[in-house]
Structure 1
Amino acid sequence: MTKNDPYAALRFKEFNIFLLVRFALVFGWSMQFVVIEWQVYAMTNDELSLGIIGLCEFLPAFFLAPIAGHIVDKKEKRNLFTLCIALFSLISFGLYWLTSSSLEEAWDTNTILYSIYGLVFFGGVLRSFFGPTIFSLIALLVPKKAYPNAATWSSSTWKGASVFGALCGGFLIAWINVHHTLGIIFLLVMLALILVFQIGKKPILNTKTNESVKESLKVGLRFVFNDKVILGALTLDMIAVLFGGAVAIFAVFAKDILDAGPKGFGVLNAALSSGSIITMLATTYIPITRSTGKKLLVSVVGFGVCMIIFGASRLMWLSVLALFFSGVFDGISMVIRQTILQLKTPDEMRGRVGAVNSMFVGSSNELGALESGIAARLFGAPLAVILGGTVTLLTVAVIGLKNKPLRQLDLRQDVEEHYEEGKEES
């Protein structure tokens, strides 16, 4: 394995299996998100109902994340990952059952709607564990010298699965209806559950068995909030997703503004992520370690500008183009953030740092869905997106001026140190 090997992480069998598992899960989860958003909006014709979906997933994902990080650091990662997947399969089957014709005839609309909200809430509980578990597991599947490359491939897989999941979700709704699409999602989750057993159990690196939950959480939070680089990177991504994102109200754009229908809905979802795939695959060949902080700031600016264009557009081709380039910038931002976290987080704290990452970024997806739903209800969907993009640009300006360590960040020395440590491990 050479120093700049673009396939460094792929030379380890278990990491390849992990990528397959993650692809199946994210592909299914992305389809499920698209299908449920479409189904709920079709049932209610109310933008706020889309925001409620985000709130149901945000609340447990955010408030349980610190405890989940503590548990992840104390437990064996492969078995914990397996348990999360098994429980996720129950959610997928539940949604499949709720959309069956027999149940729709037996139950009234509100009962089905509240049941969907309940399963989404349960999914938020699982999300609080998925993030830190996956973040911790990656570092146990490859040596330190392959961390940056592993972060890139993992992020690329996540984005790739998001693209095809969103695209297939929209098209499958039109072709085989919501119920059968959810059946396919359940089968994907079961496939992931089978594959995960091909990964062996991993050692527990946090040996402080007497550390209380309160002490553990303080250590994790103190580490993140004392590191201006990590805190700045997480804050940037959180604000961009929270205010700049518009995924939760794509159904409104597709149905009421662009008149694109379910197929157009799938295309909009896919366009946002498709640019990210190209970008993240390119970063396996073109490292982002030089002037890393400046590249991160520029990428978030680009994302905000593209979302403003999307909000103002009334043409399908321009909307798709704006979302594609927002995906390009989002892909750069994601790779940089994941690389920063992998290089700067001590092994024994990965669960807790991954949990804080989930609180900042993962949960902001759901909170952003609530924000988008409320803003769309108050101002209309186009103005809500334009305002969100503007807030993103203002945030970049403030962090760029105030956070000098992030602005001047260059990761070449960190990569060199991990490469040398990896050579010693070998």
Structure 2
Amino acid sequence: MSQALLLRHHRPFMAFWFARVCTASGFQMITVAIGWHIYQLTGSVLDLGLVGLVEFLPRVMFMLHTGHVADRFDRRRVAATCQVLQALVAGVLVFSSATDSASRELIFLMAFVLGAARAFEMPATQALLPNVVPKELFPRAVAASASAMQAATIVAPALGGLLYAFGSLWVYGPTAVLYIAACILMLGLSSSQQPASKAPANLENLLAGIRFIRSRPDILGAISLDLFAVLLGGATALLPVFAKDILLTGPWGLGLLRSAPAVGALLMSFWLARFPIERNVGRIMFTAVGVFGVATIAFGLSTSFWFSLAVLAVLGAADMISMVIRGAFVQLHTPDEMRGRVSAVNGLFIGASNQLGEFESGVTAAWFGTVPAVVMGGVGTLIVTGVWIRLFPTLAKRDKLH
């Protein structure tokens, strides 16, 4: 029955899915290029972390407004506008590469603009998905939608690393094309699927998403678990250091390392789309976060390129389980007129765990060394998992998503 329903809704969902593939591919390619570019220019692991911080700052600065915009205006057009802005960022980097005028300051500025565009794009696209598929198919759609990002993450970083061997221009150019393609696909979705809120842009409505999450302990526990676990355990920002100095590979190896978590995540997303998790969701989510921490420790201690790829794949699969459970749970328990604002707060937590986690990794690597920083981060993830089980017992014991 569910498969038949999915087929009836496949056209808008597939357009949405391919738009996600394009924008995720563009982001992965431009991230690989920016990371390698800044490390070439400065040779500083701290600058690698600062790039993540600069990308994260717009999520904090505009958090209240990004959710309101997603609830007040056509979510398709909001997402498409953000994709055009990201294409312009890639265009500026194309020009600076072609004229050999790229600088540390320019890359930081473009990272900020890129982060601002993604800050507005994320809540709009997250809030749009429940309007694309029926409610009974939403958990499957979350897994399938997540697979778009993971499919892109497998190919795009490796392709970006390979193209970078010919020069940064060869990465930034295709990235701009991908963002334009995503914009066209997003605008092709039916506008009738956007139920816009008419709430005025006052402080009370801007803070509604925060109040809603605070009033639901299980939702607060789910998204804060991701924040602190990935904040401590994320080692993405340090992959250029591992590729160049520890695993003794080049840009192509960096691309494969960035792709490896997505291989595990994509395979897991296919499994979850076919066999969604329906029972023991709390216990499974916490177990997945624990596996994420163990895999992080194993990666930090590895000196083998192929073993590193393997544990990164396990890390990605564990993260996908947690992400699908958390994403479906939050969206299913949020009224449609508030999904943009709640997604904006959730996006801040995700951004903190990723971009701010990159900054944390860069700082701890500068203080203690690259390998100790990653290992300590993995241990921190395990500690957070145990603490959160005690702080949010009803979440840990939750049986079903609904």
TM-score in terms of structure 1 length = 0.91
Deviation of the 1:381 alpha carbon:
0.8
Paired position in structure 2 for 1:36: 34
Mapped to 1, the partners of 2:21 and 2:372 lie a distance apart of: 34
1:188 to 1:208, Cα distance in 2 relative to 1, 3 A? closer
Report the RMSD for the aligned CA atoms in angstroms: 1.6
Mapped to 1, the partners of 2:303 and 2:326 lie a distance apart of: 33
Deviation of the 1:223 alpha carbon:
0.8
Paired position in structure 1 for 2:174: 184
2:283 aligned with 1:294: yes
Give CA-to-partner distance per residue, 1:211-268, whole Å, 9 cap, x none. Answer: 4431113321011122111111111111222110111110000001110111111111
Give CA-to-partner distance per residue, 1:53-84, whole Å, 9 cap, x none. Answer: 11111111222122110121111111112211
Paired position in structure 2 for 1:234: 223
1:202 to 1:364, Cα distance in 2 relative to 1, 3 A? farther
2:124 aligned with 1:133: yes
1:197 corresponds to which letter in structure 2? Answer: L
2:183 aligned with 1:193: yes
Asked whether the 8 Å contact 2:141–2:273 carries over to 1, the reply is: no
2:53 aligned with 1:55: yes
1:268 to 1:6, Cα distance in 2 relative to 1, 3 A? farther
Aligned positions of 1:207-356 closer than 5 A: 207-209=197-199, 211-356=200-345
Mapped to 2, the partners of 1:294 and 1:333 lie a distance apart of: 10
Aligned residues: 402
Mapped to 2, the partners of 1:298 and 1:233 lie a distance apart of: 13
Deviation of the 1:97 alpha carbon:
1.3
Mapped to 1, the partners of 2:267 and 2:5 lie a distance apart of: 16
Deviation of the 1:8 alpha carbon:
2.2
Deviation of the 1:395 alpha carbon:
0.4
Mapped to 2, the partners of 1:7 and 1:304 lie a distance apart of: 37
Deviation beyond 4 Å, 4+ runs, structure 1: none
Deviation of the 1:126 alpha carbon:
1.0
Secondary structure at the aligned position of 1:284 is classed as: helix
Give CA-to-partner distance per residue, 1:132-179, whole Å, 9 cap, x none. Answer: 1001111121222221121111111111112211121122222x3221
Paired position in structure 2 for 1:205: 195
Deviation of the 1:12 alpha carbon:
2.9
Mapped to 1, the partners of 2:139 and 2:88 lie a distance apart of: 34
Q: 1:45 aligns with which of 20, 43, 49?
A: 43
2:132 aligned with 1:144: no
Q: Structure 2: state its 5+ residue gaps.
A: none
Percent same amino acid at aligned positions?
35
2:372 aligned with 1:383: yes
